[in-house]
Amino acid sequence: MFSQLSTINPLLGAVGPLRVIFVHMDVPVDTAMARIAQRGRAEEKRVTTELMQSIESAHTAMQKTLASATDMEEFVHSVEHVRVDGDRSVATIAKEIAAIVRAAQADAV
């Protein structure tokens, strides 16, 4: 999966393996659809519940794939999955994600 990263391998010698954090904002489909309806954006008019369920399934599959990937140890030192409850206010979610990013930055120093 990550074999294409070999082209940047020389750069990794300077910085070392990467720490990867996937922040999954877990928003129930019903909540996402309600937010889309509330925004009323023309470009979101064609978004259906079925599409949102498909995206949710794809995220789950991606997490499983990344968790079992064995060809990235050379490039990635750790992979962390952080779930953020997206069924709360946008302001609360934003604060939590900002705190995750700040903590990751502090750990990197």
| pLDDT confidence of residue 74 | 62
pLDDT of 18 strictly over 80: no
pLDDT in tens, 21-55: 888 899 999 999 999 999 999 999 999 999 999 99
| pLDDT confidence of residue 40 | 96
**Percentage of residues in the chain with pLDDT exceeding 70?**
73
pLDDT of 57 strictly over 60: yes
Over the range 5-42, which residues count as b (16 or more CB within 10 Å of their CB) and which as e? beeeeeeeeeeeeeeeeeeebebeeeebbeeeeeeeee
Q: What is the mean pLDDT of the chain?
A: 83
Domain boundaries, the chain: 14-108
In sequence order, what are the beta bridge partners of 76?
18
DSSP three-state, residue 37: helix
| pLDDT confidence of residue 1 | 47
DSSP 72-102: -TTTEEEEEEEEEE-SS-HHHHHHHHHHHHH
| pLDDT confidence of residue 44 | 96
